């Protein structure tokens, strides 16, 4: 029968495994993934409790001390699974009761010490009211020493402390925009490393684009295969000059502890086109010429129209209208009802048709209809059939922008649709090309 440790109190005892010939009821071990890391390299420390008999109720009695080390606890939760095992030929049950991420901030010998537990062991197992109090044992964990190595010299220019094996990629929510408009740029750093102490990396932008600030704080997630993590950030960029710009917005130097060399990490290049702003509706060319000439035209009253031709025209129009109405009444026809004008929020060539074209291209590529399908499932199917990850991410961003316009209060301007249309056409073209080639 599987046993569980219930975390409710604190624990404590001599911590090391029992010596040969010695048997202990409870003891702690401490194991670090790498006892000689480089400065800035992330390692994991695990404390494991070994016990016999009934599982004790446990809790931290004293937290570990770790001067010169950044640390983060990974709490195991209220119920901790245990499993059987043998130590020096004796059978115990064991459970990992604490995990810690450690990042040494300096070189030399650094200690993690002082971790202490308190265990409450039930003495009375009879049903009903207890007659015997729990037995309390205090356990000390062994100290952990890290022999931290300094980073190799000389350090490359621009190195600001990133330690790990990383990859970088970036994508924008659209490829073209007008001068003065903004776009969202997302950066993703993935791999194995100390993401929580990773220094901020500046963006490298051409002179025609300017960062107005981060839109979201860094979001760290575990990779689905469990081999690493990803750090995602979103920035808002404003177009300041007309032109076509090809650039790699994210590049930095990192020290890879596995190969023990400094590596250049760079996202692939993006191309963004900044178009001239739309011409504002202004006065006629003749009025502009008058204004720029610096002369003031004399006000001349319009010449009066001859009254007889005007009256004759009005009379003929009234007669034709009367005859038309009379003819329709005689034949039993009624005027066709006037069709309601299109919804301002859904112009014929706007969101409704744009979304329909996207749905058709996605269904043709993935084999499933986006209507009624969760976005996560849709992304998974597109990736499964070989759709590039950046196209899937652009599609997700585009759907979000379309929803924002469609469900936001009030009407949207036609100028807001054009960048979405350009991004949609690019995605549709890629999906249709892949559907034809079967890539």
Q: What is the tens place of the pLDDT at every residue in 239-283?
A: 999 999 999 999 999 999 999 999 999 999 999 999 998 877 655
The structure's pTM equals: 0.57
Rounded percentage of the chain residues whose pLDDT exceeds 90: 36
Measure the CA–CA gap between 234 and 217, rounded to whole angstroms. 8
CB atoms within 10 A of CB 378: 20
pLDDT beyond 70 at 12: no
Please tell me the least confidently modeled range out of 84-98, 228-242, 413-427. Answer: 413-427
- Asked if residue 52 lies in contact with residue 65, where contact means CB atoms within 8 angstroms, the answer is no
Q: Are 154 and 134 in contact (CB under 8 A)?
A: no
CB atoms within 10 A of CB 427: 20
Residue 102 and residue 32 in contact, taking contact as beta carbons nearer than 8 Å? yes
pLDDT at 363: 85
Q: Check if the beta carbon of residue 370 is closer than 8 Å to that of residue 359.
A: yes
Entry field: residues in the chain: 439
Q: How far is CA 404 from CA 232, 327, 399, 410, 412, in A?
A: 21, 52, 9, 11, 10
The rounded distance, in Å, linking the Cα atoms of 70 and 41 is: 11
CA distance 376 to 388: 15
> What per-residue confidence (pLDDT) applies to 381?
83
At 350 the three-state DSSP class reads coil
Going by C-alpha positions, the residue among 139, 140, 141, 161 that lies closest to residue 150 is 161
Rounded CA gap, 52 and 137, in Å? 13
The phi and psi torsions of 59 (rounded to 5 degrees) equal -170, 160
Residues 6+ apart with CB under 8 A from 218: 231, 232, 233
**β pairing state of 251-256 and 162-172:** parallel
Confirm or reject CATH 3.30.1120 for domain 4-148, answering yes or no: no
Structural domain boundaries of the chain?
4-148, 162-275, 351-437
Using DSSP bridges, classify how beta strands 270-275 and 176-178 pair: parallel, antiparallel or unpaired.
Answer: parallel
Residue 298 pLDDT > 70, yes or no? Answer: no
- Which conformational region is residue 297 in: left (phi greater than 0), alpha (psi within -120 to 50 degrees), or beta? beta
Q: For domain 162-275, which architecture applies?
A: Sandwich (2.60)
pLDDT tens digits along 364-384:
888 887 776 777 778 888 888
Phi and psi of 97, rounded to 5°? -100, -10
Q: What is the pLDDT of residues 115-172, one digit of tens each?
A: 998 888 877 655 556 566 778 888 999 999 999 999 999 999 989 999 999 999 999 9
Give the Cα separation of 396 and 218 in Å (integer).
19
Count CB atoms within 10 A of the CB of residue 407.
8
Across the beta sheet with 135-140, the strand order is 79-81, 4-7, 57-62, 116-121, 135-140
Query: What distance separates the 2 farthest-apart alpha carbons in the chain?
Result: 129
- pLDDT of res. 41: 95
């Amino acid at each position: 029968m599987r046993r569980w440790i219930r975390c409710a109190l604190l624990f404590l005892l001599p911590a090391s495994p029992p010596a040969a010939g010695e048997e202990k009821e409870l003891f702690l071990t401490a194991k670090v993934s790498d006892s000689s890391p480089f400065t800035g390299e992330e390692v994991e420390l695990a404390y494991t409790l070994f016990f016999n008999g009934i599982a004790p109720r446990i809790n931290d009695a004293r937290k570990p001390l770790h001067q010169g080390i950044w640390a983060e606890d990974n709490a195991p939760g209220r119920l901790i699974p245990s499993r059987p095992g043998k130590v020096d030929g004796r059978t115990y049950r064991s459970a990992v009761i604490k995990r810690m991420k450690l990042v040494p901030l300096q070189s030399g010998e650094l200690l993690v010490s002082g971790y202490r537990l308190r265990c409450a062991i039930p003495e009375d197992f009879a049903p009903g009211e207890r007659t015997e109090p729990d037995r309390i044992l205090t356990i000390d964990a062994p100290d952990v020493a890290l022999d931290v190595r300094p980073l190799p010299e000389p350090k490359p220019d621009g190195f600001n402390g990133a330690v790990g094996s990383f990859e970088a990629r970036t994508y924008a929510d659209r490829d073209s925009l007008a001068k003065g408009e903004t776009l969202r740029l997302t950066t993703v750093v993935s791999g194995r490393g100390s993401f929580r102490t990773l220094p901020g990396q500046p963006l490298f932008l051409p002179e025609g684009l300017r960062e107005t600030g981060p839109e979201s704080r860094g979001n760290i997630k575990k990779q689905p295969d469990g081999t690493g993590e990803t750090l995602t950030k979103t920035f808002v960029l404003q177009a300041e000059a007309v032109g076509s710009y090809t650039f790699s917005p994210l590049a930095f130097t990192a020290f890879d502890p596995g190969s023990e060399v400094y590596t250049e990490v760079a996202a692939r290049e993006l191309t963004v086109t900044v178009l001239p702003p739309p011409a504002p509706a202004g006065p006629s060319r003749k009025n502009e010429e008058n204004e720029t000439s610096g002369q003031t035209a004399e006000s001349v009253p319009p010449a009066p129209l001859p009254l007889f031709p005007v009256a004759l025209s009005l009379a003929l129009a009234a007669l034709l209208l009367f005859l038309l109405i009379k003819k329709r009444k005689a034949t039993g026809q009624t005027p066709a009802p006037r069709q309601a004008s299109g919804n301002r929020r859904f112009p014929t060539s706007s969101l409704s048709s744009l979304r329909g074209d996207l749905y058709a291209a996605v269904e043709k590529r993935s084999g499933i209809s986006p209507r009624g399908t969760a976005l996560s499932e849709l992304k998974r199917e597109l990736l499964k059939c070989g759709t590039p990850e950046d196209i899937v991410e652009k599609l997700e961003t585009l759907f979000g922008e379309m929803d924002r316009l469609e469900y936001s209060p009030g009407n949207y301007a036609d100028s807001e649709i054009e960048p979405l249309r350009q991004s949609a056409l690019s995605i549709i073209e890629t999906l249709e090309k892949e559907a034809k080639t079967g890539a």
